[in-house]
Amino acid sequence: MTIVVEKPIAENPVPFAESEPERPDSMHVRVEELRRLRAEVHAGPGARATEAQHARGKRTARERIELLLDEGSFTELEPLRRHRATGFGLEHRRPHTDGVITGWGTVDSRQVFVYAHDFRIFGGALGESHAAKIHKLMDLAEASGAPLVSLCDGAGARIQEGVTALAGYGGIFSRNARASGVIPQISVILGPCAGGAAYSPALTDFTFMVRGVAQMFITGPDVVRAVTGEQVSMDELGGADVHASVSGVAAFAYDDEANCLEDVRYLLSYLPSNNRQAPPALPCDDPADRRTDRLADLVPADPARGYDVREVVEEIVDHGEYFEVHPTWAGNIVCALSRIDGQVVGIVANQPIVGAGALDIKASEKAARFVSLCDAFNIPLVTMLDVPGFLPGVAQEHNGIIRHGAKLLYAYCNATVPRIQLILRKAYGGAYIVMDSRSVGADLSFAWPTNEVAVMGAEGAANVIFRRQIAAADEPAAMREQMVKEYRAELMHPYYAAERGLVDDVIEPGETRAVLARSLAMLRTKHQALPQRKHGITPL
C-alpha cells in the first residue's frame, strides 16, 4: 500500500513568531489583554474606594480572604461577572465581580469555600448576578463536601434591582438550610448586615463579629425610632457585644479583623469537612493516662461553694487547650470544643460561679444548639454536671422555660454520637435528667465521690417529706437537721445511683482523664440509628 504525501513536512519548521509578523488579534495580544483585565479586576474600583474602606477601620474583601486562607491557595470564581440591570443609573456602572469575591482555597491544607462582600462596589449590596455567584459557590461547597465561610460586609438588597435581589436572598437562605448539618457554615460579620441579609448568618453554624465595624439587625435605628420612639445607635442596636452577650446571635466577638479571622481558622481545625467524615485528629504528646489529682483541690466538697468549671476542663483536656463557644452569653453553662488524646470532643458543663450553674432559658438554648451541632458533625460529647436544677421564677415560667428546656432534652435524646456523663458534684431534679443522664441515652456515666443525685437537695426534700414531724417537734430546727441527715444518708450518698446502675462507676478525680480517654476510644466505632422519619418536631 502506497501513502502519498501531498505537502512535505519541513524538518525544522519555523516558529510562528518568526514566520510572520504578529497580528492585532493574535493569541499573545489576547493574553496581554486578559492579564490587564485581571489586574484591573483584582485592584477593584480604585484607590479612593480602598482608602475609604481602610479609613473605616476595615480591610478590603481580597485582603480578608488572604488573611483567612493559606498563602497563595485562593482560586477565584467568576471574577468577570457583571450585573444585567439597565435602569436607575446602573446601566452606567457595571463593575466586574458585581461586589462579591467568590472562590475556594485551603486552611491548614484543607479545602474551604469562601465569599466576601466588596463594600467598595455598591456598598456590597446584593443583586441578581451577585447572588448567582454566591448560589454557585454554595452549591459547589455542598457538592464537594467542604466548609463554607462568608465574610459579610454589605448594605442589604440592591434597591435598583427590586424583587430579583430579594429572590437572590431566598436562594441563599434555602441553600443555608439544605447544607445545615452537611457542611460547616461560618459567618463573619465585618461591616453592616441588615434586613434580609441578617438571616443567612442566623442559619449558619457559627457567627463571628468585630467590634466597632460590624452591626447586624433586621430594622435600623431610624426605623426603630420612627416606629417605637426609641433612640438607639447602630452599635447599641446590633453591635458585636450586643449579639455576643445579650441576644446570643453571635458566638464570638473580637477587637480586630486579624484576630477574628485567625480564630475562624482555629475553629475549622476542630471541625470535619462534612458530616461523612470524623473530626480531624492530631498526634498528642499529653499522655492519655495522665493523672488529674489537682481536680480534688479545684472542686470543693461543699455543694454550696462555687468554683470555675473552666479550670476543670483545662485539667482534663490535652494541654489545657479548648475553644469556648458563646463565652459571654448564658455564662451559667460552658460549651467548648477540645481534644482528649488527640481526638476532638464537645464539652458541656454547668458553671457554678454563674447563677450556681442552674439551667435557665438561655443556657438551655445555648447547650441545645451546641449538642445538635456536635451530633451533626460526629463530635463525641462529654457532659459535666454540677447543677442545682432549673432556675425558678415567674419570668422563666412565663417566657417558656418548659419549652426551652425541652430543646436541650430533645437535642440529647436525638444525638447518636458517643456520649459520656460526668457528675462532678450535685445533680438535682429535671436538670439531672436533661443533662444527658443514662435514662435519656448517655452511653456511660461516671461520678466523683462528691456526687449527689436526687430529686432535690436534702434540705428541700426533708421539708417536704417530714413537714408534719418537724412542725410537731418541740425543737423544729433540731428535728429538721436530723431529718436532713437521714435523707442524705439514705438517698443521696455518692453510691446510691451506682448501686442502681444509673452511674457506671464512681471514680477518683485523679482518674478522670484516663477514664474518659479509654471510654472515648471504646466508643469510637459506635453506631446508632434513629427511627426512619422525615424529621422530628423540635420544641421551638
What single letter denotes the amino acid at residue 196?
G
What is the C-alpha to C-alpha distance for residues 78 and 236, in angstroms, rounded to an integer? 37
Cell numbers for 46: 480604585
What is the C-alpha to C-alpha distance for residues 488 and 495, in angstroms, rounded to an integer? 12
Cell numbers for 263: 480564630
Q: At what angle do helices 61-68 and 257-268 cross, to 10 degrees?
A: 40
Query: In this structure, are residues 235 and 215 in contact, taking their beta carbons and an 8 Å threshold?
Result: yes
What is the C-alpha to C-alpha distance for residues 87 and 340, in angstroms, rounded to an integer? 59
What is the C-alpha to C-alpha distance for residues 375 and 418, in angstroms, rounded to an integer? 9
Query: In this structure, are residues 350 and 357 in contact, taking their beta carbons and an 8 Å threshold?
Result: yes
Cell numbers for 384: 459535666
How many Cβ atoms are within 10 Å of 405's Cβ, its own excluded? 24
C-alpha closest to that of 336 among 272, 376, 294, 383 = 383
* Lookup result for grid cell 422555660: 401
For 26-46, b where at least 16 C-beta lie within 10 A, e where not — what string? Answer: eeeeeeeeeeeeeeebeebbe
Instruction: List active site positions.
Output: 195-196, 430-431
What is the C-alpha to C-alpha distance for residues 228 and 220, in angstroms, rounded to an integer? 12
Query: In this structure, are residues 77 and 103 in contact, taking their beta carbons and an 8 Å threshold?
Result: yes
What is the C-alpha to C-alpha distance for residues 412 and 400, in angstroms, rounded to an integer? 19
What single letter denotes the amino acid at residue 114?
V
Query: In this structure, are residues 309 and 534 in contact, taking their beta carbons and an 8 Å threshold?
Result: no
Report the chain's C-alpha Rg in angstroms.
30
Dihedral (CA of 35, 38, 43, 44) sign = positive
What is the C-alpha to C-alpha distance for residues 4 and 167, in angstroms, rounded to an integer? 64
Q: What are phi and psi of 488, to 5 degrees?
A: -65, -40
Cell numbers for 348: 458541656
Distances (CA, A) of 227 to 219, 230, 231, 234, 378: 10, 8, 11, 16, 46
